Structure 1
């Protein structure tokens, strides 16, 4: 069955490497064409042959981008076809829905899969966007709810006090403005309290916001995640993927949100290789087990230090589970492409 794809995300570097291994240069002309054009601020491009005469820079860039995406589709289709022919690519939806087995039996097979493709309900999680919203949450609350209380005498009085104090702070030449700042903070807190009482608005504690930002910066800096549930009923089975912003086809995450939304109401597809597949019972060998059976007085000083140091890394593993480390029965995929697919005979 053939299909039309609206590409959202395409990791060209991985696709090129995979194609080279699969086809040995069969479509090397295609990959070379994508790379030869160098006029788009070092972005991936290609040598477009239809550009003739005096074409404007903006029109040329648009033409290059359009043709580049067309070549992306051709490369993606070729890779999916090659993997399917070699029986390396598994369509998870088709495998489960036509396998004639229970969900638990399906889960037992998942560790055997390598490259997978799946379609389902999804969501995008941009941690930088989340931090920005958290940072500005209280100001947005003030803007929305205070505007509905414009005729409230207490709100009017507090607004005037805040504006006057801010003007004084800007114009003041004093080196120490701590007393004025404390006074301003106190009035702003009363302003927020009045809004809460009159409108039901909720303000977050500023210290809480700072701690959340610190936590995110430590464990999830610049993360853009994708989450997809292939099956409507068994929605605890999910595919998790970490995205690189440079491979978003439309340029940035904001464009994607405006197009599909952070939680799309149309099913999307993902194609990539499984990179993490937790089991119900962990079958991994714990590398720290090498120290089992040894008393500290039997170990060298450097081994005691290494054991303690590696124990710290092990403790981080539980913290990292808060941020997109899959737990059974979820799996993690290194994505090559994310797209909306329209199938036809």
Structure 2
């Protein structure tokens, strides 16, 4: 029995999918036509001839044929076709596969392939939302502090309530002064702007190994706010990303001018969120042991 998986596509770049198929098959057919028909027969008899050549009794059968033409657009099925073609030609690597745990050998094998099909936990990092959060952190901190003492407002004196409020506010903002806030906003404006970065973690026991790519908003099936509202920025279920390998950063790469790695900048971003809810881990760039990919399709099954 032909059992086909129904995929919930979050993101799909149809143009890239078509490009893959057209290169592998030397062309692309994105529509198919199915013909359905039936025939009915009728026996005819007669005496005589036709222009003197045919004489006697002739029996013939007249075929009446009705034909129905059905045109199908391949639409999302075109993705299934691209995936199957790449698997058949051994140009698509599944991750995880027989390698059940992360290793340098496995990482290098990914880098030697053009396309990967990765299943695992994902993080969605929307930098426009992060910018809003940083820009309004002081106001939000005051709100969080007020909410924290609200439940005990009847048990505290005014002086105790004010002291508790100030302590909570200081705790929320202690590692995030005005200079830090301005610096992060400037950094986002210069390097990230409204970028959406997706990271997938195929090996839970090795969370630092991730495949990372930028999302082109025009290929999202829904707007990013709706997606994060439904699934969150770190969904609990496993998702699948079909992507093309972009780069394999070398080990121990550092920025000599600032003596700072992408992971150190990532840690600076994380300090904002540690006491809030650990929203995401933000990265300055794709750094070892991560691998950069170009997402072509993202879906759940």
- What does residue 225 of structure 1 align with? 197
- What does residue 335 of structure 1 align with? 295
- What does residue 138 of structure 2 align with? 138
1:269-313 CA deviation, whole Å, 9 max, x = no partner? 11011001124488xxxxxxxxxxxxxxxxxxxxxxxxxxxxxx9
Q: Which has the higher strand share?
A: 2
- What does residue 64 of structure 2 align with? none
| Structure 1 residue 327: Cα displacement | 2.6
- What does residue 243 of structure 1 align with? 215
Secondary structure of the residue aligned to 2:172 is coil
| Structure 1 residue 233: Cα displacement | 2.3
- What does residue 202 of structure 1 align with? 172
| Structure 1 residue 21: Cα displacement | 1.8
Work out the CA distance in 2 between the residues paired with 1:102 and 1:213. 35
Secondary structure of the residue aligned to 2:296 is strand
Work out the CA distance in 2 between the residues paired with 1:7 and 1:104. 31
Asked if 1:93 is matched to 2:53, the reply is no
1:46-65, aligned counterparts within 5 Å? none
Secondary structure of the residue aligned to 2:236 is coil
Work out the CA distance in 1 between the residues paired with 2:85 and 2:227. 29
Work out the CA distance in 1 between the residues paired with 2:106 and 2:91. 17
User: Which fold has the larger relative contact order, with Cα–Cα distance below 8 Å and residues 6 or more apart in sequence?
Assistant: 1
| Count of aligned residue pairs for this structure pair | 236
- What does residue 27 of structure 1 align with? 29
With over 3 angstroms needed to count, the CA separation of the structure-2 counterparts of 1:235 and 1:154, relative to structure 1, is closer
Work out the CA distance in 2 between the residues paired with 1:327 and 1:82. 31
With over 3 angstroms needed to count, the CA separation of the structure-2 counterparts of 1:221 and 1:317, relative to structure 1, is farther
1:131-186 CA deviation, whole Å, 9 max, x = no partner? 10111122122234336468875799xxxxxxxxxxxxxxxxxxxxxxxxxxxxxx
Secondary structure of the residue aligned to 2:207 is coil
Q: Which of 1 and 2 has greater Rg?
A: 2
Q: CA RMSD in A?
A: 3.6
Work out the CA distance in 2 between the residues paired with 1:317 and 1:244. 32
Work out the CA distance in 1 between the residues paired with 2:95 and 2:130. 31
* Maintained 8 Å contact 1:219/1:320: no
- What does residue 244 of structure 2 align with? 273
Q: Which has the higher helix share?
A: 1
With over 3 angstroms needed to count, the CA separation of the structure-2 counterparts of 1:24 and 1:215, relative to structure 1, is same
- What does residue 13 of structure 1 align with? 15
Secondary structure of the residue aligned to 2:242 is strand
The answer for unaligned runs of 5 or more in structure 2 is 33-69, 266-282
